[in-house]
A and B are shown apart, each in its own frame.
Chain A
Amino acid sequence: PHVLRAFHLFLGTLQPADFDIIHSPGEDLAFTKVREAISDNIQAKKLSISSPTSPIQMIEHYHVHSISISMPASPSAFDRERSKGIFESEKGGSDITNGKINHPISATGGLQQQNQSKFHSQPMPIGNSHSNTSPDIKILDSPECQQQISWNSRIKDERYDSFKTWFGKLGRQMCNLRGKPQEPEEVTDAKNAKPEAVPAVGRYFDALEGPELDKLKVLIFCIQAILWKTLATSPSMTFLHVSPTINPSLWCISLALMGLVSAIYMLKIIFYFEAVRREYYHPVRVNFFFAPWITCLFLAIGAPPSVAIKLHAELWYVLMAPIFCLELKIYGQWMSGGQRKLSRVANPSNHLSIVGNFVGALLGASMGLKEGPIFFFAVGLAHYTVLFVTLYQRLPTNKTLPKELHPVFFLFVAAPSVACMAWAKITGNFGYCSKIAYFTALFLYASLAVRINFFRGFRFSLAWWAYTFPMTGASIATIRYSAEVENTFTRTLSVALSAISTLTVAVMLVSTIIHAFVLHDLFPNDISIAITERRAKASKGCMHPVTSSSDTVDSEACTSSKVEGHLHLPALSGATQVQL
């Protein structure tokens, strides 16, 4: 059990972390962001655990996922060792990058790196041995980094120069990511990650209570969500990467993880196809099918220049084909698909399908394609308009999201940020349309950020990882904007936003680790929910009156609108009751 759990965690962390966005403001400066593979993994894992399903089932999945993922056993030393191993490798990379914080943007990137590396080094004293380039790496606290950043921000030209000088380095680092794209051929890499653990888990639970495909599905869904979340955390840290080996190494790690996850998910598809199929029919979960493809797109975007050159346009077509097919299905459902009316099932996770379009347009434009990116941008824009209006309306027919999943509202910020960058890439300059999209994103960010009360009042959960992706996206867009409109305010803003997103990621990591290993309350109700799930499991068809435990099971099989009844979660988690 411990092994399985550790393995699970490991798998969860194995998400493509690197996410590079190469954009060229006027002079082809590349903004590449490398995501921390490890942090991403953890985030991804957390996300998958908290994967938002339909509003009704969200809480359930929320808890259930955690349950299904974690074995009832507490993390053993073995687990810790494994985690450490992961962290150390990450730390090594981040240490190198932390070494140089000369420029605001790079500083922010470095800050994130540092935060993460710092984070890594904290729980494991072993990691300190990795530091090589700069002795002061580990010491950097956020305030220190920020001081340096603010100091650096005064150096205007230098920052720009550093962009240029590090562009190559970043590019190279990013290139590694590109090697990965051929990996994800399955619908969801996150799901792939799950299959590897899933059989083990499945067997484990079989021993306990019998096969539960739904649990597997939940697991897979969690990992999907994690994958998606890790995409989010792509700060503009690349400028801080002094060493050219950081990005490649991180990118390679992401690549490897992605491959692993894909393999795992293939296994899941082979062994537990039913679970996958039911997930596909679920009106909310189906949005997360986009997650692996978006991850791959980000990897391709973030690939180092040396690898980027080798990428062919065919890769773009290969990556976009599944997204296109998924879109035909999902948007067609919006238009004419029976019960799954947008007015009923619209929820912020629908943004995922829209973001996929914009990310694809961004990658295509980076590769030099002309018509394809415009196609996906147009489709994404049209459907984004619809979704935006619908979500803003908060129609009474729409089911409200449970409070624990309110962080998903931050996805509002993600779509316009990526759209603005995609349009800047397509047209070659940061014109009016991009600025309009950017300001929309900024406004939504601000308007959500000040609603502290909206996001308070519930304990830490994996859904909090939903904050990171949009924050990172907004930071990246801000950096792009500040490259276009250069003044102190924009630079400060970009630094601040990057710092915030880095800090958020670090805090998330810490909290997740703490909750997972120290407090053990990240996945409460393991056994009880597993048991209840199993009881309710048998119904595979849709239209099931939901019994107390059948929600997760049925919800996946049925459309959310069909689920009725109460959802009783075990008392361990403070029995949340969701009335459907």
Chain B
Amino acid sequence: MEAAVELRQIQLQVLEPVAAAATGKALSKFSMLTRFHAGYFRISLSLCGQALLWKTLIESSTETRALRAVVSRLPSFAFVLLWSLAFLTLLALCFLYVARCVLRFRSVRAEFAHHVGMNYLFAPWISWLLLLQSAPFLRPDTNGYLLLWCLFSLPILALDVKIYGQWFTQGKKFLSMVANPSSQISVIGNLVGARAAAQMGWRESALCMFSLGIAHYLVLFVTLYQRLLDSNSLPAMLRPVFFLFFAAPSMASLAWDSISSTFDAPCKMLFFLSLFLFASLVCRPALFRRSMRRFSVAWWAYSFPLSVLALAATEYAQEVKGAVANMLMLILSVLSMVVTLVLLVFTAIKANDLLPHDDPFMCSFNNMQ
């Protein structure tokens, strides 16, 4: 134990020039901020996604009988509770990350340079946008909503310009070198912004962000399928991130649904594609075996895509009112709720594991520093 601590100290000293002669306590404080990274926003993503799902289920329950069966079991205050939990979690994580930016700016820079880490810089903004859309007290046609949308979308656009531009202009960060499944978060960011804008009534902005997302999604989809990098792209512990494969088309389907006001053929096609990818991943449990050995924050990557898929299924069931569609919606909604609940329980029980000392993601980009 002592040896391990000492080893960690040595590591930190080698990797973190700033933490030179720190005492144990200072070390632990620094190390927490050092080990904290944008990937932790997966938690907020999942919770905000769940809140949006609940809100959609509640709002559309008046139309669909099947929904009412599910929603009637959700007490109304439970939704407010969930939303508050998501809000507080997001606030806490943002605060931590701001502290990290201020105190450990080098780590933030290194994270931005990492091919996996840079994508999670979208995650806080996506979470805020989801929270905005699911807010129980804020309607889309208010000025506050508009202002907040601008506030949260501008960083997404700025990150877009930086990261997408890097894809095809910068030597070391070509898409063929940095593409990995977590790159789809950038696409999802654009699509979430597009959906929020469409709900506000700003169709042109919505269309603009949607086209940004979809164009880069096309490129990314092909590149990821080609797997040019394969082994270098994602460590085994981050395999849950593969679930993003079906989160992106589901989000695209939802965004186009908001833009075109009906769940028409392109929405259906995107939804079916995400269903297929979901089935394809679920049939491959061996892919996730290694990452399931130990609890880590990567497990939270399971929840958000499931919520988005359930959302898309809800919209689909509203359009195509059939038994199969309703069944699909119910199954997916229940699945996403159960997964989120299980993850919450695991987090509560194994809070220590949440900030492990040997988080592989940290090591990989600490090495890059």
Contact = CB atoms under 8 A, between A and B. Distances in A.
Nearest to B271: A378
A343 B228 contact: yes
A335 B280 contact: yes
A374 B230 contact: no
A390 B227 CA distance: 11
Contacts of B224: 335
Contact of A378 (B222, B270, B280, B283): B270
Between A328, A331, A371, A382, the greatest number of chain B beta carbons within 10 A of the residue's beta carbon is seen for A382
Given A328-B280, A336-B284, A386 B273 contact: no
A375 interface: yes
Interface of A: 327-328, 331-332, 334-336, 341-343, 346, 371, 374-375, 377-379, 381-383, 385-386, 389-390, 395, 397, 427
Contact of A335 (B245, B269, B272): B245
6 contacts: A331-B280, A335-B245, A336-B242, A343-B226, A374-B269, A427-B265
Nearest to B286: A336
Between A335, A374, A379, the greatest number of chain B beta carbons within 10 A of the residue's beta carbon is seen for A335
A379 B273 contact: yes
Contacts of A336: 227, 242, 284, 287
A548 to B, nearest CB: 31
Nearest to A390: B226
Contact of B221 (A332, A386, A427): A386
A378 B221 contact: no
Interface in B226-281: 226-228, 230, 242, 245, 265, 268-270, 272-273, 275-277, 279-281
A332 B226 contact: no
B21 interface: no
A341 B268 contact: no
Contacts, number: 74
B137 interface: no
B276 A375 contact: yes
A389 B218 CA distance: 11
B317 to A, nearest CB: 12
B40 to A, nearest CB: 25
A343 B231 CA distance: 13
A335 B221 CA distance: 10
Contacts of B227: 334-336, 341-343
Nearest to A329: B283
A374 B268 contact: yes
A378 B273 contact: yes
A342 B284 contact: no
Between B221, B227, B245, the greatest number of chain A beta carbons within 10 A of the residue's beta carbon is seen for B227
B272 A379 contact: yes
B225 interface: yes
B226 A379 contact: no
A381 B222 contact: no
Q: Is the interface of A mostly helix, strand, loop or mixed?
A: helix
Contact of B273 (A327, A382, A390, A427): A382
A379 B276 contact: yes
A443 B292 CA distance: 49
Given A328-B283, A371-B320, A382 B221 contact: yes
Given A378-B269, A378-B273, A390-B226, 4 more contacts: A328-B283, A342-B225, A381-B269, A390-B225
A378 B268 contact: yes
B225 A374 contact: no
A328 B279 contact: yes
Between B242, B273, B275, B280, the greatest number of chain A beta carbons within 10 A of the residue's beta carbon is seen for B280
A359 to B, nearest CB: 17
Contacts of B275: 375
A427 B275 CA distance: 22
A437 B225 CA distance: 22
B272 A375 contact: yes
Given A379-B273, A381-B269, A389 B280 contact: no
A435 B272 CA distance: 23
Contacts of A334: 225, 227
A374 B222 contact: no
A327 B283 CA distance: 12
Contact of B280 (A332, A341, A342, A395): A332
A343 B245 CA distance: 18
A378 B226 contact: no
B223 to A, nearest CB: 9
A560 to B, nearest CB: 16
Contacts of B273: 378-379, 382
Contacts of A342: 225-227
B230 A386 contact: no
B343 to A, nearest CB: 23
The 6 closest A-B pairs by CB, nearest first: A378-B269, A375-B272, A386-B225, A378-B272, A341-B227, A343-B226
Contacts of B283: 328, 332
B287 to A, nearest CB: 6
A428 to B, nearest CB: 12
Contacts of A371: 268, 320
A374 B224 CA distance: 24
